[in-house]
Structures are given as structure tokens and as C-alpha cells.
């Protein structure tokens, strides 16, 4: 019993002191100060955007997505929502997903999760000041590419797939919309 009290006191002291230690306090505050600079190549994405799709008459959807810094600016998050959707029975109109962008050394990477259990790891590039491309790494399965391009005040997006062994991408879904 006495040793449990000592352990409890030690944990309280350790946990209570770590966040206020000057070295740790500075490290925790650092991302906030550099938030704008570290996401500058992707600043055109920030905000809430409308997304209207028309997949060849097969799927019609209207929704929004928002890119915003989270966790003191250490990640850039995209949250999406569908306001209305009409599609074939095998299309998931109740789709929800999250995309998190983060820095890994000098590179920007991203990870995608959705309610169907998909997890995609992306490398991120900005070939033009108003374009960002998310590419999955080559592997035994298909490759995926997600592209956002701001043109004429409208954000255009494409989600594409390349079958195994092919370098050619085909659009699975395309959307566009203005900033809210």
C-alpha cells in the first residue's frame, strides 16, 4: 500500500512537471508559431469548399470539405460531409473520410481513412502553386492519386486509380466547387 502511494506521488510529480519544463514548453509552442510557414505551399486549400460531383450520370453528390490546421498546426486535416447523394445501390452514399497531412523531415505526407476501412498513405507534391497531388507508393495492388487544383476561384478535385502494372490513371470521381 505504501509503495502504491509512493508510485502515485511520483507519477503526479512527473506528469505535473513535464509540461512546464522550459525545454518541453518551447517544443510544444513551436509548431503554432510556424503554422503559417509550414503549410504555405498548401495555403490555397485552407477553408471550406463546396464539392459537386457528376460521375457520368451514375453518381450525383453535393457536399463540403474543410482543410484546416489542427493539433497546434502540426497536421493539416481535411474533413468532408455529404449533404445529398444519389447513386447506384452499390455506391456508398453514406461515405465519411478523414485526410491528415503531416511533415516527415522535409517531405509532406498524408494518410487517409474512411468508414469502409480503407487506409491510404500518400506522398504529397505541389507541381504548381495552386495544385497539390497525393500519390500512393507503388506496390502489388492498385495505385491511387488525389489531386486538388484551384482555377478561376473554383477548386477542382480528382480521385484516380491505376491498375497494378499500369502507369495510366483513370478517374474514379471528380468534383468542383467554390469556397464558402
pLDDT at 172: 87
For 27-36, what is the mean pLDDT?
A: 50
Is residue 139 within 8 Å of residue 14, measured between CB atoms? no
DSSP 50-63: EEEEESTTS-EEEE
| Of 91 and 151, more confident | 151
Fold topology of 35-178: Lipocalin (2.40.128)
Q: Can you tell me the distance from the alpha carbon of 91 to that of 81, in angstroms, rounded to the nearest whole number?
A: 16
Q: Where exactly are the structural domains of the chain?
A: 1-33, 35-178
58 pLDDT band (50/70/90 cuts)?
Answer: low
pTM for the model stands at 0.77
Task: Say whether pLDDT at 15 is over 80.
Answer: no
Reported for 122-131, long-range contacts at CB under 8 A and 24+ positions apart, including other chains, are 122/146, 126/41, 126/42, 129/41, 129/44, 130/44
Strand ranges in 38-169 using DSSP code E only, listed in sequence order: 47-54, 60-70, 75-86, 97-104, 107-114, 119-128, 131-136, 143-151, 154-162
Mean pLDDT of the chain: 81
Least confident among 5-14, 50-59, 81-90, 160-169: 5-14
| Of 82 and 99, more confident | 99
pLDDT at 54: 67
Give residue-wise pLDDT tens across range 139-149: 889 999 999 99
pLDDT at 2: 44
For 98-103, what is the mean pLDDT?
A: 97
- Within 10 angstroms of residue 134's Cβ, the number of other Cβ atoms is 22
pLDDT at 30: 45
First and final CA of the chain: distance in angstroms? 60
| Of 159 and 15, more confident | 159
Amino acid at each position: 500500500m505504501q509503495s502504491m502511494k509512493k508510485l502515485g506521488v511520483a507519477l503526479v510529480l512527473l506528469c505535473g512537471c513535464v509540461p512546464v519544463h522550459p525545454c518541453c514548453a518551447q517544443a510544444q509552442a513551436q509548431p503554432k508559431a510556424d503554422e503559417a510557414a509550414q503549410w504555405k505551399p498548401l495555403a490555397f486549400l485552407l477553408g471550406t469548399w463546396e464539392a459537386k460531383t457528376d460521375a457520368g450520370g451514375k453518381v450525383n453528390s453535393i457536399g463540403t470539405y474543410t482543410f484546416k490546421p489542427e493539433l497546434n498546426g502540426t497536421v493539416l486535416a481535411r474533413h468532408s460531409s455529404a449533404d445529398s447523394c444519389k447513386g447506384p445501390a452499390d455506391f456508398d452514399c453514406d461515405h465519411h473520410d478523414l485526410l491528415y497531412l503531416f511533415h516527415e523531415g522535409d517531405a509532406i505526407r498524408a494518410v487517409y481513412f474512411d468508414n469502409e476501412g480503407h487506409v491510404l498513405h500518400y506522398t504529397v507534391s505541389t507541381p504548381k502553386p495552386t495544385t497539390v497531388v497525393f500519390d500512393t507508393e507503388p506496390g502489388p495492388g492498385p495505385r491511387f492519386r488525389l489531386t486538388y487544383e484551384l482555377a478561376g476561384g473554383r477548386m477542382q478535385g480528382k480521385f484516380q486509380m491505376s491498375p497494378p502494372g499500369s502507369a495510366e490513371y483513370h478517374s474514379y470521381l471528380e468534383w468542383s466547387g467554390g469556397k464558402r
